[in-house]
Amino acid sequence: MSQNQSQQQSQQRSQQPSRQKAQEHTPMQQPPGTEALLTPKADHGESSYVGHGRLADKKALITGADSGIGRAVALAFAREGADVLIAYLNEHEDAKETGRLVKEAGRKAVLVPGDIADPAHCRALVDRAVQEFGRIDVLVNNAAFQMTHEDIEDIPDEEWRHTFAVNIDAMFYICKAAVKHMKPGSSIINTTSINSDKPKPTLLAYATTKGAIANFTAGLAQLLADKGIRVNSVAPGPIWTPLIPSTMPPEEVASFGQQTPMKRAGQPAELAPVYVMLASNEASYVSGARIAVTGGTPIL
């Protein structure tokens, strides 16, 4: 590394938001939450992520790419050379900012709003990606829904069904539609959670779907091996995103992440390199894996 590169990266690191107790004074939000109201702001790698061409000319579809982990992954993919379809619900301003970051990296950004709880919209996302890019090289199923409840009797039936529709049913529909447009060497990356191994009781519906995602990923990896398509999952621990202050009570938000060995919540930027690795040719023999990014909390 040259002296100029070293100085540049040192300056970029110094510009990153503090990663200590990022959630201490944030206002509560209505779900699904927005980056604009997140205080302090999350770090998506805007000032720190440096690409090295590892995804040159790849075509990616990322759900939940408007904010949080999805934005960090979209930014990293673009700086590594990929074009990105940014799928999101209705957070238009957040999605525009993700699109700006992708375009700033010199790559194509396609913004597609809509509810992935609708199977027809899942298929439409794939159709749009193929229309725009001609193929899909990387599929990141990242969008998720959660709500906190203290008692099983407090969970409305419709909310339980909606959690499954967004978190696991949509993953099946999108994968099913996308596979026919993916060539050998392509990659599917699903966002599961530490809850797949250590379920939080007050997130019963969410944790249950995350366990399902872990098993779906492991099974699909075996099913698609003959096609040369790799399937893996990333299991984040407590990560500071708009989903947290919009779905958890204030007392949990205030101490969010402090139960980890690192004593803090993670930032979206701290997950993006894992997604890049799994999307790249460097992971050519990695399939069926679940990679923990949990601040030191082990998962099995």
For the chain, how many structural domains are there in total? 1
Question: Tokens 């007050």 — which residue?
Answer: 202
| In-domain check, residue 16 | no
pLDDT tens figures, 261-300: 999 989 999 999 999 999 999 999 999 999 999 999 999 8
pLDDT reported for residue 242: 72
Structure confidence at residue 41 (pLDDT): 84
Q: Is residue 97 part of a domain?
A: yes
**Cis bond before residue 27 (omega within 30° of 0):** no
pLDDT at 23 (0 to 100): 45
pLDDT band for 1, please (50, 70, 90 cuts).
very low
CATH number at residue 57: 3.40.50.720
- 137-177 residue pLDDT tens: 999 999 999 999 999 999 999 999 999 999 999 999 999 99
> Residue 32: which pLDDT band, with cuts at 50, 70 and 90?
low
**Residue 154 falls inside a structural domain:** yes
Q: What is the pLDDT of residues 72-109, one digit of tens each?
A: 999 999 999 999 999 999 999 999 999 999 999 999 99
Residue 69 lies in a domain: yes
**What's the CA gap between 300 and 102, in Å, rounded?**
35
Say yes or no to pLDDT of 16 above 60: no
At residue 259 the predicted structure's pLDDT band, cuts being 50, 70 and 90, is confident
pLDDT at residue 177, as a whole number: 98
pLDDT at 9 over 60: no
pLDDT, tens digit (0-9, with 9 covering 90-100), for 164-218:
999 999 999 999 999 999 999 999 999 999 999 999 999 999 999 999 999 999 9
Lowest-confidence segment of 35-49, 96-110, 209-223, 235-249 by average pLDDT: 235-249
Full domain range(s) for residue 206: 53-293
Count of residues for the chain? 300
∠ CA 148-158-64, rounded to 5°: 65
Under DSSP, is residue 140 helix (H, G, I), strand (E, B) or coil? Answer: strand
CA distances from 82 to 105, 153, 194, 274 (A): 9, 45, 28, 16
If residue 272 lies in a helix (H) or strand (E), which one and from where to where? helix 272-279
- Active site amino acids: 206
In a domain, 271, yes or no: yes
Question: Within a domain: residue 23?
Answer: no
* pLDDT score recorded for residue 252: 76
Say if 169 falls within a structural domain: yes
Decide if 240 is inside a domain. Answer: yes
**Mean pLDDT, residues 52-77 taken together:** 97
**What is the residue type of 228?**
G
Residue among 141, 154, 146 nearest 238 (CA):
146
Q: What is the 3-class SS of 205-246, one letter each residue? A: HHHHHHHHHHHHHHHHHHHHHHHCCEEEEEEECCECCCHHHH
Q: How far is CA 208 from the centre of its chain?
A: 18
Q: What percent of the chain has a predicted confidence (pLDDT) above 70?
A: 85
- Which residue type, as a one-letter code, is found at position 125? L
Q: Report how far apart, in Å, the C-alpha atoms of 281 and of each of 102, 147, 229, 257 are.
A: 21, 37, 12, 32
pTM score, whole prediction: 0.88
Would you say 129 and 61 are in contact if contact means Cβ atoms under 8 Å apart?
yes
